[in-house]
Structure 1
């Protein structure tokens, strides 16, 4: 059974409520319909109820597969606003929340914040920036985390690592040149994401061009500082470094280069890149020359699961990311 098949099986055993604020988009509606029809999620379409129902009929979808939330329904809107402003730590007042809820994206996230849905899934009609700002405003960040980042999951044919052919990598999509503090946040968030999605024991390696002081320079210093911060924040997590890539994932190389005890060296299942130049290039190398399937990017750092998919993604990829997001939400409860 492939990793995606395992994730699909998890989703089917515990379907989560996924809000689609881009409900009228043809690809998004098709992906929502197929995941709902297959029993993988409970799809909740947010927008103009009349228009959504008309599009369902026009496109040949069974309306009963969806829960349709009509944003014009005043009593439910008022109920959501009241529930949101009563949440502890909420800074927005009723009028400010109401203004933002004119947007389906913000409406869906308010539903998520109050527990009416488990995931908000967007990204075709909204930019990544739109999704990030809405998530930070309405959902907020996890305690102790101040950085939104991403993680991907690579299934690499021929790779024999500590989790078989699978390797989690981040950040390859969001943080361009993270500070040491941001890099530490990325590592901590990655451990939490992997734990909720895959039930792995996270073993997280901070990647550099140096292994334990074999090189010198400010690029290495940043990674070393990030490691210290991450360990101070979460001493319970197995995060180690700085390691070169081979020392992180190959036991025979770690035996030669890492001459101290390490729970991570040679058996890392998560790699944290030092910046986006390394991350983006590495993922493309893995895909191009390693013929890997790469799933994601999965946003992380929010209080709840928010997903931003690629605008050019085909329906099959959108479905995979919907299911991954749902399993993460179930695992984080």
Structure 2
């Protein structure tokens, strides 16, 4: 849901409406804090839900214990995601980088102490996560309120904050749908960074009325994505015979990982394109279109094809995975078409104004 702030803050910053960044961020903080309460209730009773779904009672109880201790983490996590978008829309990257490094250095010994030294186990891991997120919020919050770089966009409470909540929610819900269905693996964080950069540049340039510069930003992000995906796929294919040993020493497992590595490469390619195009969608402010495309791609194309390939063509796990890859490619194609349509519309609007 925090992705909505990429659109609102990014375009406001590009348009030179600096005070609106503070208004949007404050409204977003209120919105996500309210959302945290029903999520907290869901987590508290998650053991009963998991057992109802057929999960092992012991695993369900342990999951519930972990999530109950994780509930206090929800609130600083929500605020942190919004602060990140607030800074990202202004291209203030390095404060987030250094803050993350500091928190990581502190997180490791804190987590070890709580889990092993003090014997809190799972609860200690949850507490360590919460502590790290809280520290990150404190560090970035201090930077926001004391840095000259944020002087024009300082987060202040005003009467417009409450009215901005409706506008935030209009983008937040489709943003959540887009993200929840696409973040599938650790590798996604690399193209996600390209998508985040594209989102910032596109929203800034569109806010400033520079569609050609926004188009250039998309091309640059796409070029970086192509280079990265070539490196990732080449590395995987060259190491496919030994990749399976990362998961176990059984020959059958190693051989199976070798066989499915091409599928993993297709997934990485599709995820990279999708992450960049999703960033463009968020920066352009058409999350609702992106949400419909994501839902349609997976539920109307990906999942049906996965079922057919798995149970009709008897490809089993490979069939399920192939179906989801098809869904990803359909999503990429539709997002590309939507981006081109959006570009024509925006250029036409600028021409009419001129």
Q: Shorter-chain-normalised TM-score: which range? A: under 0.3
Larger radius of gyration: 2
From the two aligned structures, give the one with the greater strand fraction: 1
From the two aligned structures, give the one with the greater helix fraction: 2
